[in-house]
Amino acid sequence: MTTQNTPDPKPSQSAATQAKVTASDVTEQAKSAARDVAQNAASAAKDQAETAKSSVADEMSGVASALRTAAEEMRSGSPQERTFGQIAEGLADASEAMRDRDLSEMVQDVSAFARKNPLVFLGGAALIGFAATRFAKASNAPNQQTTLHTPGTERHGDFS
């Protein structure tokens, strides 16, 4: 029996197969890492949204309490007292509903409302935007310094 030292015709195939297996393993590891990063990001976003939701609910509850106090200080039975009381109750109910509901349910409800009442939704969104802008400007007003204009210091033409 003689053994020949003929090269095996499959070494290049086994190297190619091994490279494919290695590439497949690396691909799976990358996919797994990407899934983990996506899950962590989604979890962090959900936690932030829940924190914001809780903060908004607390703020609404505080406003409702302030409105109740204001209503109590008004003349009993007056239209202002009733209006403030109704607004306070509405805000308190909305605050509790916000605490009890999941964020995804709230998003679905808002989406459904927007589809059923697009003009009301857009009008409300615009109103909220205007109110937020006014609030932001009002809260920044004390921080802005007014510059005094000194006569003869105006510049005309090229400012370079």
Q: What is the DSSP string of 45-63?
A: HHHHHHHHHHHHHHHHHHH
CA dist., res. 129 & res. 123, Å (int): 10
Does the CA dihedral 33-35-38-43 come out positive or negative? negative
pLDDT tens digits along 123-148: 888 888 888 888 788 877 655 554 55
Q: What is the percent of the chain where pLDDT is above 90?
A: 16
Q: What is the 8-class DSSP label of residue 74?
A: S
CA dist., res. 31 & res. 148, Å (int): 61
Which pTM does this prediction carry? 0.51
pLDDT tens string, the chain, 160 residues long: the values are 455 555 555 555 688 888 888 989 999 999 999 999 999 998 998 888 888 888 888 888 888 898 889 888 888 888 888 888 898 898 888 888 888 888 888 889 889 989 999 998 898 888 888 888 887 888 776 555 545 555 555 555 555 4
- Tell me how far the alpha carbon of residue 23 is from its chain's centroid: 38
| 36: amino acid identity, one letter | D
